Amino acid sequence: MESTGGVAVVTGAGSGIGAAVAVALLEDGWRVALAGRRAAALEETAGKAGAGDRALVVPADVTSPESVEALFAAVRRRWGRLDLLFNNAGRFGAAAPVEEFSLDEWRSVVDTNLTGAFLCAREAFRLMREQEPRGGRIINNGSLSAHTPRPHAVAYTATKHAVTGLTKQLSLEGRRYGIACGQIDIGNAATEMTSGFGGGALQADGSVRAEPVMDVRHVADAVRYMAGLPLDANAQFLTVMATAMPSFVGRG
């Protein structure tokens, strides 16, 4: 892909999918603000691409409105605009049956996966609608759990279903400003979150089975495709998954 020179924000950029996407965008010539809670991890991600001053490390907590505002203010000061937000920060939460899932854990997952995505999208809208040329793109990290639940994942499943609603709302309201919004639903990318799947994961029938995973670079390539579209085209929903993973296509 040709160098774009555009400006992107990637949340959860210190590890996993966020880190892979941030590095891929930097390699493609984007200027990227890497956001996350751990400054050292963000610096490590930035260093992988060797992008110099095209990488901006901004420690941020997406659950905090003040922290999110400071993140986008830093982008505005540095580059004066925003062309892409990859709304990626999220957490799975405790693995527990519904009746044992604590309210504190529920609120923590909702605050990160849903409220955090909203707060970042709100600040992106404010910047994208005012800049010249106006507009930009938001890509939300949905998950296959936006369609099909896993056992013992009530908060993660609920928030990822809600992210789909957020994506549709942003797409609707973004039209007048030239803001496109799409969602990538990912199944079993090889990251810290899926590191235990090879040893066995609980299935819907109560069995425990090893699950295949795919290289996270395939996710980064999919985001590259979505990000590289002109603003008059949009990949509204894109699914990329390990081919043989269970419990999504078919009965499980």
In this structure, are residues 124 and 138 in contact, taking their beta carbons and an 8 Å threshold? Answer: yes
The DSSP annotation for 198-237 comes to GG-EE-TTS-EE----B-THHHHHHHHHHHHS-TT----E
Using DSSP, state whether 188 is helix, strand or coil: coil
In this structure, are residues 47 and 70 in contact, taking their beta carbons and an 8 Å threshold? Answer: no
Strands 208-209 and 201-202: antiparallel
Catalytic position from the list 156, 183, 226, 227: 156
Return the structure tokens found at 102: 């604590």
How would you label 141-170 residue by residue, b for 16+ Cβ within 10 Å and e otherwise?
bbbbbbbbbbbbbbbbbbbbbbbbebbeeb
Cα 46 to its chain centre, rounded Å, is 17
Please indicate whether residue 177 is annotated as part of the active site.
Answer: no
Which of the residues are catalytic? 156
